[in-house]
């Protein structure tokens, strides 16, 4: 069972987390949801298309202009409060590695802290515990926030992913984060080259086998682009293929830009696996 905010998700229920960037320089949408109006419209559309979680981020992952904790909070805290007011049942996640921002967004109504930088600020887990919210524990290969990997190497990338993410998850629970609200994430592209991310996907079943629910953030990432030699705006098919494989191997939560397309892929995989009946069944029955 996975419990986030007011929602409880059963074992074979795939969960979509829609990305809402409150940044002017996102690698994908280039600031399309930086202003409140478009961002709220994005939340409304994502929920209508089947997203159970919205993931709000105030700093882009890659290198760029410096964003202070104060500015990150300015971009996210008021928006979290407004989403909480308008969508009381949606799970609100905030993508941050800073405990100061985590504290502020939890007070505003966040249900989940998405720590994409693998515990770079150990106090973030303490914030999650204090507020009783969920935590995403990610493998970032020890990389500093907002840096790109350089000549990174692992003896066994999945062994390192398991060591780090399970360790972070167990620490979170020991601090008081509810066990049923902790997720682990292999961190595609974070502290990894393309071959590492492909291997992490191929061996995702090993993560699912730990018993911790697995979140994957695959959407339009560089490892998809390099694998297929496609620019950012031509990576949807590669993303959806990776999503299908991840679903088959046991991932539970999918952080995405394209909600409707992801929903169809996840429904199809769930039906093939026998966890979901067809929406209609007429062929050969008349």
Query: Is-catalytic flag, 230?
Result: no
Catalytic hit among 221, 230, 263, 282: 221
- Which residue among 42, 171, 192, 255 is the active-site one? 255
- What's the first-to-final CA gap in the chain, in angstroms? 39
CB 190 within 8 A of CB 171: no
Angle between helices 123-131 and 157-175 (to 10 degrees): 50
Burial of 137 (0-12, 13-18, 19+ CB in 10 A): buried
Cβ atoms < 10 Å from Cβ of 74: 16
- Residue 179 tokens read as 């066990």
Q: Residue 25: what are its φ and ψ, rounded to 5°?
A: -135, 30
Instruction: Decide if 60 is catalytic.
Output: no
> What CA–CA distance (Å, rounded) separates 116 from 164?
13
Task: Tell me how far CA of residue 194 lies from CA of 142, 153, 257, in angstroms.
Answer: 17, 12, 20
Compute the half-sphere exposure of residue 48: CA atoms within 13 Å on the CB side of its CA: 6
Tokens representing residue 269 in the block: 């995989």
Q: Is residue 9 classed as helix, strand or coil in its secondary structure? A: strand
Residues annotated as catalytic are 221, 255
């Amino acid at each position: 069972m996975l419990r986030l905010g007011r929602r409880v998700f059963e074992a074979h229920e795939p969960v979509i987390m829609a990305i809402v960037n409150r940044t002017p320089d996102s690698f994908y949408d280039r600031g399309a949801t930086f202003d409140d109006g478009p961002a709220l419209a994005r939340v409304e559309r994502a929920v209508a298309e089947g997203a159970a979680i919205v993931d709000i981020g105030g700093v882009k992952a890659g290198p760029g202009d410096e964003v202070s904790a104060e500015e990150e909070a300015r971009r996210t805290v008021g928006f979290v409060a407004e989403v909480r007011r308008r969508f009381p049942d949606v799970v609100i996640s905030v993508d941050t590695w800073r405990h100061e921002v985590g504290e502020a967004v939890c007070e505003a109504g966040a249900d989940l802290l998405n720590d994409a930088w693998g515990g770079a600020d150990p106090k973030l887990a303490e914030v999650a515990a204090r507020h009783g919210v969920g935590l995403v524990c990610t493998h970032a290969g020890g990389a500093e926030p907002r840096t790109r990997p350089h000549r990174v190497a692992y003896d066994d990338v999945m062994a390192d992913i398991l060591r780090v993410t399970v360790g972070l998850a167990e620490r979170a629970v020991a601090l008081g984060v509810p066990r049923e609200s902790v997720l682990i994430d292999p961190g595609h592209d974070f502290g990894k080259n393309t071959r590492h991310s492909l291997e992490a996907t191929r061996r995702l079943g090993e993560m699912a086998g730990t018993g911790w629910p697995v979140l994957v953030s695959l959407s339009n990432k560089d490892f998809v682009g390099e694998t297929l030699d496609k620019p950012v705006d031509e990576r949807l098919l590669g993303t959806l293929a990776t999503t299908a494989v991840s679903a088959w191997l046991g991932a539970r939560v999918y952080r995405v830009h394209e909600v409707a397309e992801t929903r169809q892929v996840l429904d199809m995989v769930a039906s093939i696996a026998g966890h979901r009946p067809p929406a209609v069944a007429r062929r050969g029955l008349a």
